[in-house]
């Protein structure tokens, strides 16, 4: 059977079980778009900017637990994907990004819309390819999907010269991928797992610290079972939210720069930390010398480079989080059936859990909602109540992101979708579209700020055109709030370039795109506006005019110990 490169591309994407891709056409990929138009199984969502395509694919991957796919043209189409690719790279999200390229004969000639995207994205992809021979196209795509989703996942880019996708060739089903240089280690060392069981047995003040790796390996059930079996409180990084039920009594809240008091104090005082799927980012650890000073640290990660990178650990385990945690549970079960008394943790955790309860009681997350001005935290709390914690929440970056993380309690994994590592403003709206495309039956809400929503506002048109209904909650404080907060605290309130007083009318803006717009200015109306907006059909912007100078607390100043928090 003879197929063109473009047809092979579509066939291979479908073979991976992907039903929706996000993209934007251009001269170099016009053959692919022609082929897309002539088939009906693979849905293409036309975005309004290539960055949006990659963020949408990123969120699609997370919500769907599969691989996200973006398709763009050469030159500027390709360079516009870089932010999205870098974000997916830092968050370890499986993506395959197809970029058009000038015909092979013109490569290197500074042709129109030519850019060396393979060179540009080398440091921010897991791997990338320039396909120079159409015979290798199918196997390259198969390999790219394999790399994207296996081991520590990540984005893979394939650069496709125009002549490659236009050429018909005999299609041969590619073989199973086998790479001599790439064999991720899923199976943890059993001796190490046994050591963890002993450490748990000896520990008086243990904590589980779950990260994005737990979500990626779908290990939240194992985390939850381990926590409940051994009575261990759980905290998570921003990327790990949802790995453990946010409504469970053993939940400590998020850890780090804007972590809860009890989570940060627990890390400061624990004698055992079981860290799963985390990379000890500086936003989590603060001053590394003072991070978990009295703890023995167990670190489970599929990527050996994550271990001993930022922090020395006493019990490293290279392997899949789910397999490792299941192994620990199994060993614990075997050992406790031999000697039930020494594996009954309920009694000896009391002192530790009481201490944590005291931290929680004396220093909870707090804000005061008066009768005049809306507090942003109040909006998120009401959003949580009205959606019963069931919505998929995407966020922009900054204060809106932190309040969403603090006040929306995620009971399930894959429900909080945020640009954690790179911190991309403009992520939330295209991400909401991607998540909704993956999960059409779910309510998807983008929690946004007035600054960041303007960074990819054009994607409103994508949502309207593709009838992908998303709800957007804008916490409008007329500032780039997080930077303003730093300026308030550390730069003598010199609010340099952070005022966003000049902003569009978001209600009219929504209407201009064909969406619905609601504005709320009074605390008493928050619940009714949210309730009305969430119930409306179609895409809705709900703008909440909130306190201009509300800050996110607790806050650990950059470089400080995480137990030394500014509380108000």
Active site residues: 50, 112-113, 162, 482
Residue from 179, 489, 512, 558 touching another protein (CB under 8 A): that is 179
Per rule CB under 8 A, is residue 305 in the interface with another protein?
yes
Residue of 205, 209, 300 lying closest to 254 (CA atoms)? 209
DSSP 402-444: HHHHHHS---STT-EE---SS--TT-HHHHHHHHHHH-TTS-E
* Residue 311 CB, nearest approach to another protein (Å): 11
Q: Taking CB under 8 A as the rule, does residue 559 contact another protein? A: no
φ, ψ for residue 468, nearest 5 deg? -105, 105
Nearer to another protein, 48 or 142 (CB): 142
**Residues with Cβ within 8 Å of residue 387, at least 6 apart in sequence:** 443, 445, 534
Q: How far is CA 126 from the centre of its chain?
A: 17
**What is the closest distance, in whole angstroms, from the C-beta atom of residue 130 to another protein in the complex?**
8
The verdict on 508 binding another protein (CB under 8 A) reads no
Contact mark string toward another protein, 307..346, x via CB under 8 A: -xx-------------------------------------
**Residue range at the interface with another protein (CB under 8 A); choices 178-186, 347-355, 402-410, 479-487:** 178-186
- 15-74 residues near another protein, rule: CB under 8 A: none
Minimum gap (Å) between residue 4 Cβ and another protein? 25
- 147 versus 444: smaller Cβ distance to another protein: 147
Q: How far is the CB of 108 from another protein (least distance, A)?
A: 12
Between 179 and 558, name the residue whose CB sits nearer to another protein: 179
User: Per-residue contact track with another protein, 118 to 157, x per CB under 8 A?
Assistant: xx--xx--xx--x----------------x----------
Q: Which stretch binds another protein (CB under 8 A): 99-107, 174-182, 200-208, 356-364?
A: 174-182
Q: Output the CA torsion sign for 294, 299, 304, 305.
A: negative
User: Min. distance of Cβ 123 from another protein in angstroms?
Assistant: 5
Q: Is 334 helix (H, G, I), strand (E, B) or coil?
A: helix
Q: Shortest distance, CB of residue 176 to another protein, whole angstroms? A: 17
Query: Whole-number minimum distance, CB 11 to another protein, in Å?
Result: 24
Q: How many residues are listed for the chain in this entry?
A: 568
Helix/strand/coil (H/E/C) assignment for every residue in 466-491: CCCCCEEEEEECCECHHHHHHHHHHC
Among the residue ranges 18-26, 305-313, 364-372, 526-534, the one whose residues contact another protein (CB under 8 A): 305-313
The continuous run of DSSP H or E covering 21 comes out as strand 20-23
Q: Which is nearer to another protein, 141 or 429 (CB)?
A: 141
- For residue 291, what are the CA distances in angstroms to 296, 419, 526, 565? 11, 24, 39, 13
Q: What share of the chain is helix, strand, coil (3-state, %, to 5)?
A: 45, 20, 40
Binding mask 428-467 for another protein (x = CB under 8 A): ----------------------------------------
Stretch that binds another protein, among 173-181, 262-270, 330-338, 386-394 (CB under 8 A): 173-181
If one asks whether residue 536 binds another protein (CB under 8 A), the answer comes out as no
Rounded CA-CA distance 137/366 in Å is 55
Please say which residue, 302 or 435, places its beta carbon nearer to another protein: 302
C-alpha 273: how far from its chain's center?
A: 23
Is 350 a binder of another protein (CB under 8 A)?
no
Would you count residue 181 as binding another protein (CB under 8 A)?
yes
* Interface of this chain with another protein, residues 100 to 119, rule: CB under 8 A: 118-119
Residues in contact with 206: Cβ distance below 8 Å, sequence separation at least 6, in sequence order = 200, 230, 232, 233, 270, 271, 272, 273, 274, 352
Kindly state the smallest distance separating residue 122's Cβ from another protein, in Å.
Answer: 5
Q: Which residue, 182 or 495, is less far from another protein as judged by CB?
A: 182
Q: CA distances (Å), 251 to each of 222, 244, 282, 423, in order?
A: 15, 7, 22, 25
175 binds another protein (CB under 8 A): no
CB atoms within 10 A of CB 528: 12
- Residue 303 sits in the site that holds another protein (CB under 8 A): yes
Q: Are 128 and 157 in contact (CB under 8 A)?
A: yes
**Two structure tokens written together for 239:** 């990327």
Site for another protein, rule CB under 8 A: 118-119, 122-123, 126-127, 130, 147, 179-182, 303-305, 308-309
């Amino acid at each position: 059977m003879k197929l063109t490169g473009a047809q092979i591309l579509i066939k291979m994407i479908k073979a991976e079980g992907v039903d929706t891709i996000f993209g934007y056409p251009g001269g170099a990929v016009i053959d692919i778009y022609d082929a897309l138009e002539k088939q009906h199984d693979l849905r293409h969502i036309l975005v309004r900017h290539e960055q949006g395509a990659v963020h949408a694919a990123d969120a699609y991957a997370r919500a769907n637990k599969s691989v996200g796919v973006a398709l763009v043209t050469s030159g500027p189409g390709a360079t516009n994907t870089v932010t999205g690719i870098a974000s997916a790279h830092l968050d370890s999200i499986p993506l395959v990004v197809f970029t058009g390229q000038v015909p092979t004969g013109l490569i290197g000639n500074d042709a129109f819309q030519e850019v060396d995207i393979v060179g540009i994205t080398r440091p921010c992809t897991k791997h990338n390819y320039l396909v120079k021979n159409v015979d290798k196209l199918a196997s390259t795509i198969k390999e790219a999907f394999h790399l994207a989703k296996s081991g520590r996942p990540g984005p893979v880019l394939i650069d496709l010269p125009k002549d490659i996708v236009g050429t018909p060739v005999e299609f041969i089903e590619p073989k199973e991928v086998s790479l001599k240089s790439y064999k991720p280690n899923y199976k943890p060392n059993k001796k190490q797992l046994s050591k963890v069981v002993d450490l748990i047995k000896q520990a008086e003040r243990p904590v589980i610290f779950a990260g994005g790796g737990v979500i990626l390996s779908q290990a939240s059930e194992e985390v939850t079972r381990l926590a409940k079996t051994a009575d261990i409180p759980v905290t998570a990084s921003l990327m790990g939210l949802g790995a453990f039920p946010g409504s469970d009594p053993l939940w400590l809240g998020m850890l780090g720069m804007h972590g809860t008091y009890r989570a940060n104090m627990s890390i400061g005082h624990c004698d055992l930390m079981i860290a799963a799927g985390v990379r000890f980012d500086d936003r989590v650890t603060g001053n590394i010398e003072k991070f978990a000073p009295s703890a023995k640290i167990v670190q489970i990660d599929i990527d050996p480079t994550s271990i001993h990178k930022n922090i020395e650990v006493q019990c490293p385990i290279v392997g899949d989080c789910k397999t490792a945690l299941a192994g620990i549970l199994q060993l614990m079960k075997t050992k406790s059936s031999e000697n039930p008394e020494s594996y009954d943790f309920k009694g000896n955790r009391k002192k530790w859990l009481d201490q944590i309860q005291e931290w929680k009681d004396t220093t909870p997350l707090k804000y005061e909602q008066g009768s005049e001005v809306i507090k942003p935290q109040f909006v998120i709390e009401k959003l949580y109540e009205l959606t019963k914690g069931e919505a998929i929440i995407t966020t922009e970056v900054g204060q809106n992101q932190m309040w969403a993380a603090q006040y929306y309690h995620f009971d399930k994994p894959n429900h909080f979708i945020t640009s954690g590592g790179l911190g991309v403003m403009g992520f939330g709206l295209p991400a909401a579209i991607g998540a909704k495309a993956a999960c059409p039956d779910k309510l998807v809400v983008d929690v946004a700020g007035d600054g960041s929503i303007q960074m990819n506002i054009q994607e409103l048109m994508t949502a309207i055109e593709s009838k992908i209904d998303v709800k957007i909650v804008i916490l409008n404080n007329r500032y780039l709030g997080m930077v303003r907060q730093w300026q308030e605290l550390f730069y003598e309130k010199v609010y340099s370039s952070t005022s966003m007083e000049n902003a569009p009318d978001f209600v009219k803006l929504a209407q201009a795109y064909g969406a619905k717009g609601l504005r709320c200015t009074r605390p008493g109306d928050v619940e009714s506006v949210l309730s009305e907006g969430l119930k409306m059909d179609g895409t809705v912007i709900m703008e909440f005019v909130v306190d201009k100078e509300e800050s996110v607390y607790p806050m650990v100043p950059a470089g400080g110990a995480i137990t030394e928090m500014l509380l108000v």
